[in-house]
Amino acid sequence: MAENQEKESVLTKKDIRKAYNGWHQWAEVGHSYERMQGIGMCRSQLHILEKLYKDNPEGLKKALKRQSELFNTEGCIGATVVGATVSMEETMVELPEEEKNSIITSLKVGLMGPFAGLGDSLNWTVLKPIFLGIGCDLAIKGNPLGAVIAIIFAVLMYLEGRYLYQMGYRMGKSAFTAILGGNLISKLTTISSILGMFMMGALGASYVSLATPIEIVIGNNDAIVLQEALDSIVGGILPLGALFLIHFIMKKTNRYGLICLSVMAVSVVGSFFGIF
């Protein structure tokens, strides 16, 4: 543990916790194209840098500068990088400025990308739809518990970030190899992706609706109601068709707004001609 190796650290456990809460509070404030989360990153470590460089105003300026440069990662899994950065600032305080700058900056910049990728793909692409899918299901039945599910997800994400931040702090640089090197994450992502696919199928069946009033008249008075004919094969063919048509279109283009508008246009035109 880092605490044992350090002779006498000026930072208390409370300072370390405060830096995570600071990160959680300020990460995205003032997000801009040029600096992204840089200002937030610097803001969350103010109290730590202030303590470390109490008698060294020049070092403080350099440290503030170093931490306010461009930084961008995901807030929860990416907090590992923040934790490790705090631990490096603490252990390297005695190193010469030049050396310290290059080590800390290169680690920060080199690892923010991979961790952002992990966080975005696990937390927000896979876990979020699973949780919010359940939340939506409750909400669409008019149940306020739907919002509670969203809040539970938020709390879990906060705790995940806090755990990984502490881990990043304890292990410093070695945290990265532990997380990026092991195959636990890839296994976790695969498994949650399967659950995610399954959930999306269930959501699609529950909430995508499409039916046609078309009747095909044969001979005298016999009319085949198209919808009944389709349902006799298997239920839900038209919605499934709509789902995969959209799936196909999305392979060609990324312009989701345009797809939304096209769906609306096709629906209204179809309604005018009595297809839907």
Partner 1 sequence: MTLKLAIISGIIYGYANTEMFYVPMNIFWLCGLVHGLIFGIVTGDISTAMILGGQITLLTISQVASGGVEPSDICLASCITIPLALITGMDVKTALPLCIAVGLIGNMNTPFFYSVNNYMAHVVDKYVDRGDIRGIKRMTWLTAAIDFVISFPFAFIGVYFGSTVVMALVEKMPEWIVNGLNVAGGILPAIGIMVTLKVIDRPKMIPVFLMGYFMVILFGVSVIGAAIMGGCVVAIMWNVSAFRTEKQ
In whole angstroms, what is the distance from residue 145 CA to residue 227 CA?
35
In whole angstroms, what is the distance from residue 202 CA to residue 265 CA?
27
Looking at beta carbons only, is 9 or 193 nearer to partner 1? 193
Q: How far is the CB of 170 from partner 1 (least distance, A)?
A: 21
Q: How far is the CB of 92 from partner 1 (least distance, A)?
A: 19
Looking at beta carbons only, is 7 or 252 nearer to partner 1? 252
Closest CA to 119 of 201, 40, 35, 179: 179
Residue 237 DSSP one-character state: H
Looking at beta carbons only, is 24 or 108 nearer to partner 1? 24
Q: How far is the CB of 44 from partner 1 (least distance, A)?
A: 10
Q: How far is the CB of 258 from partner 1 (least distance, A)?
A: 9
Q: How far is the CB of 104 from partner 1 (least distance, A)?
A: 16
Q: Which two tokens stand for residue 133?
A: 């899918």
Q: How far is the CB of 85 from partner 1 (least distance, A)?
A: 16
Within a 13 Å sphere around the CA of 254, how many CA atoms are in the beta-carbon half? 0
Q: How far is the CB of 5 from partner 1 (least distance, A)?
A: 28
Q: b/e map of 67-100 (b: 16 or more CB within 10 Å)? A: bbebbbbbbbbbbbbbbbbbbbbbebbeeeeeeb
Closest CA to 37 of 48, 49, 47, 24: 24
Looking at beta carbons only, is 191 or 223 nearer to partner 1? 191
> Quick one: CA torsion of 139, 142, 143, 148, rounded to 10 degrees?
40
- Provide the 10 A C-beta neighbour count for residue 103: 14
Looking at beta carbons only, is 7 or 141 nearer to partner 1? 141
Q: How far is CA 229 from CA 220, 241, 270, in A?
A: 19, 15, 20
Looking at beta carbons only, is 103 or 205 nearer to partner 1? 205
Looking at beta carbons only, is 115 or 169 nearer to partner 1? 115
